[in-house]
Structure 1
């Protein structure tokens, strides 16, 4: 036990059985951002990527009981809350009464429609939201269509959005955030810009994530309001909390899961990337230790030295590839290697990234010296071997990018990725063998088998 009490954040909303939005998205967001999440279920929906097929509102007495249970437990309590789907006026009245009774600060997400289609707020309930919830919330987070409904104003551009924000602020909201990504001029500029108003205007922009026209992002609004509530619960001011929440959702959409015609936000994307980054770094370090403990490895280190690297699962650039800074070289004392870090070897990184274009699972590579004996050992071990000719390299090409792509196209591979790629060198270029693996440790395991066979 850490002894540090996590902030308690309560979500009050509906269940999305498909797992992409609603309280499911909220709880995943709370967990990813390090706050303790509690939930008050207001409705059960039957929905999928085709829309909302059925809705059943939880009796308001049970909703009230849920809130009382959470608030009355001193070990739980509520530091902050957020509201989502509140289907009817009766539901809104009960929730507003409880929030006001216990003076719970909250983010109001005025959910009206599901991202996949389907009405989640009764027509006559909007006025109740305006009368009872907007005046007591800390911040309200409508998207453009919702802001238009609440304010009664048509929103076609940024100036219209400002007018709508002012109108909603007059209704009693301490702050208004109109979420971006809906206006044509934003999309054309490649930006998704949220507009904040709390007495002063401020824009928060991020890159607009392009997607196929038929794809619908699911769960972004819920995740944003949940992330905002989590950051506010931690004591961050509104602007800092909004910036953090926006980045969180942007990353969650970027790493979203394709489900039929939906892109479902992945709240764990950031955690998974951090975990994978740590795993890659430690894996390369372990691979280097294995090489140092293999006394005969020095016999296959080329004149230019060896390097080994490994890419993150979703690597996009050299920044996502860890390797040895400098080279691995033999010395009188044994094998010397520099520190292991990210973005320290363009050469090995480009080789791995080029291979991952063909096979995402082959995330590691190591270079060793060329010899017919090494190639023969690789073949005897059942490795698929391919090659490229440096003499045919185009003048505007980069050797590793071009060479790997050339080797992968070898018809004898029958579409499978090679385990080994070699070349016979050129003027001023040493012949080289490269061995690929799923991880750096896997690649070194192959190297050790090759060395053992060559040394027999």
Structure 2
């Protein structure tokens, strides 16, 4: 998964481009960057800022978008109106979700956007955003409203949405009273309220951490309320771990993401990037799963609550990752892991005799089962066929097969399932088996 951050450079590495890269890495995503300005600041004081030339901002954006498949974009610090216009001209026609994090002042006291850039920021960048993430002072500046209550936050969110943002998240951390921090999401026309205990210290980098982690979770296909909740919890844990590295504000220290989700999400992104893979997507589409060690039930197996679907000569992820999100491929992994605990990941592909022949020729172990011999009780119980078939395919084996397949039945599509120790192992096998169909790739 590739995420692009368009933001300023922070030499303390607490926020800005450097903070975003740390967040992306914590989620197992690959971060690319476009630097809009260079700041001179530390944990105690802001010194100077110098914008990057607009032509160079444009060139950086083009250089990334023409080479990388970018799954989501975060826009942070944009210092002057020339930078705003440069970003808008490059992004106004793209379909990639954009998370806009308004950044007007640094926690160390510096101005991070000129006053003459503000009207262009509202007119050109806010309408580009899938979601915008202002805090209270930023929302007040954008709307001209004073925000002193939850109802004020909702009214401000509506006003920002009318400017052009599709969705609005207003962070409530700057309210001076109360033991709880309340955040408000306006998702299309529906409000969601999130709250957590207020932390008793200020730190540097929390806002950037939230917007960057939200960007990753949106790229993973999560619905916006779920993406915000994941980003919020990650940010809270990261802020709790903040470390006083310098002599001033503590710097946010990033929490560790869910390694199961990070690995599977990365592998799915790579799978979708394979040029020819659309030819191997079955009619029922593809799922890709990864379990915790020693899974006891489908609750222990992460998969897509949806599918990887064929869209012309490409594939697209429809849905998001969730434990118990997959029934069929996850059932196969559950049975495999019970006998061979090292095998914890799998995906399904369209059945083709040539695929099986290629797998055998590459030295992979292949097993199968005949659905004609399936007991009636398994056929009538939803989800039982895959469990029964996988157990039948491995019953007499002393080593795990790389592939289990069946040739179908009345109303049931023939299928191949590729197994591995982890998602990268499954992806490696998939590429090796299918690449011989496409020797030039």
- Do the two structures share a fold, i.e. TM-score over 0.5? yes
| Secondary structure of 2:92 counterpart | helix
In 1, distance between residues paired with 2:15 and 2:32?
A: 16
Which residue is 1:156 aligned to? 148
In the alignment, structure 1 residue 24 sits paired with structure 2 residue 24 = no
Which residue is 1:171 aligned to? 163
Q: How big is the shift at 1:60?
A: 0.9
TM-score by length of 1: 0.55
In the alignment, structure 1 residue 80 sits paired with structure 2 residue 72 = yes
1:264 to 251, 256, 266: 251
Contact 1:251 1:270 in 2 (8 A): no
Written as runs of structure 1 = structure 2, the 5 A alignment for 1:181-260 is 181-185=173-177, 188=178, 190-198=179-187, 199-211=189-201, 216-258=202-244, 259-260=246-247
In 1, distance between residues paired with 2:173 and 2:99?
A: 20
Contact 2:4 2:72 in 1 (8 A): yes
Which residue is 1:135 aligned to? 127
2:82 to 90, 107, 117: 90
1:55 to 49, 54, 64: 49
| Secondary structure of 1:90 counterpart | helix
In 2, distance between residues paired with 1:184 and 1:16?
A: 27
Written as runs of structure 1 = structure 2, the 5 A alignment for 1:387-406 is none
2:139 to 147, 157, 162: 147
Q: How big is the shift at 1:161?
A: 1.0
- Which whole-Å deviations, capped at 9, do the CAs of 1:1-34 have from their partners, x for residues lacking one? xxxxxx2110000000011110111000000012
TM-score by length of 2: 0.57
| Secondary structure of 1:41 counterpart | strand
| Secondary structure of 2:236 counterpart | helix
| Secondary structure of 1:53 counterpart | strand
In 2, distance between residues paired with 1:223 and 1:19?
A: 12
- Unaligned runs of 5+ residues in structure 1 are 1-6, 273-456
In 2, distance between residues paired with 1:54 and 1:80?
A: 30
Which residue is 1:120 aligned to? 112
Q: How big is the shift at 1:116?
A: 1.3
Contact 2:39 2:49 in 1 (8 A): yes
Q: Runs (4+) of structure 1 moved beyond 3 Å?
A: 268-272
In 2, distance between residues paired with 1:116 and 1:34?
A: 29
- Which whole-Å deviations, capped at 9, do the CAs of 1:184-240 have from their partners, x for residues lacking one? 34xx2x2111100121111111221112xxxx3111111111000000000001000
In 1, distance between residues paired with 2:76 and 2:139?
A: 15
In 1, distance between residues paired with 2:42 and 2:258?
A: 26
Contact 1:16 1:47 in 2 (8 A): yes
Contact 1:14 1:45 in 2 (8 A): yes
Contact 1:206 1:247 in 2 (8 A): no
Q: How big is the shift at 1:261?
A: 2.6
In 2, distance between residues paired with 1:271 and 1:242?
A: 16
In 2, distance between residues paired with 1:97 and 1:51?
A: 34
In the alignment, structure 1 residue 46 sits paired with structure 2 residue 40 = yes
Q: How big is the shift at 1:135?
A: 1.0
Which residue is 1:13 aligned to? 7
**Length, aligned pairs only:** 259
Contact 1:87 1:121 in 2 (8 A): yes
Contact 2:41 2:48 in 1 (8 A): yes
Contact 2:104 2:113 in 1 (8 A): yes
Q: How big is the shift at 1:104?
A: 2.6
Q: How big is the shift at 1:270?
A: 5.6
Q: How big is the shift at 1:103?
A: 2.9
In 1, distance between residues paired with 2:257 and 2:125?
A: 32
Contact 1:110 1:146 in 2 (8 A): yes
| Secondary structure of 2:169 counterpart | strand
- Unaligned runs of 5+ residues in structure 2 are 260-441
Query: Cα gap change, 1:238/1:270 in structure 2, threshold over 3 Å: closer, same or farther?
Result: closer
In 2, distance between residues paired with 1:24 and 1:90?
A: 23
Contact 2:58 2:86 in 1 (8 A): yes
- Which whole-Å deviations, capped at 9, do the CAs of 1:273-308 have from their partners, x for residues lacking one? xxxxxxxxxxxxxxxxxxxxxxxxxxxxxxxxxxxx
In 2, distance between residues paired with 1:72 and 1:245?
A: 29
RMSD of aligned alpha carbons:
1.8
Query: Cα gap change, 1:112/1:137 in structure 2, threshold over 3 Å: closer, same or farther?
Result: same
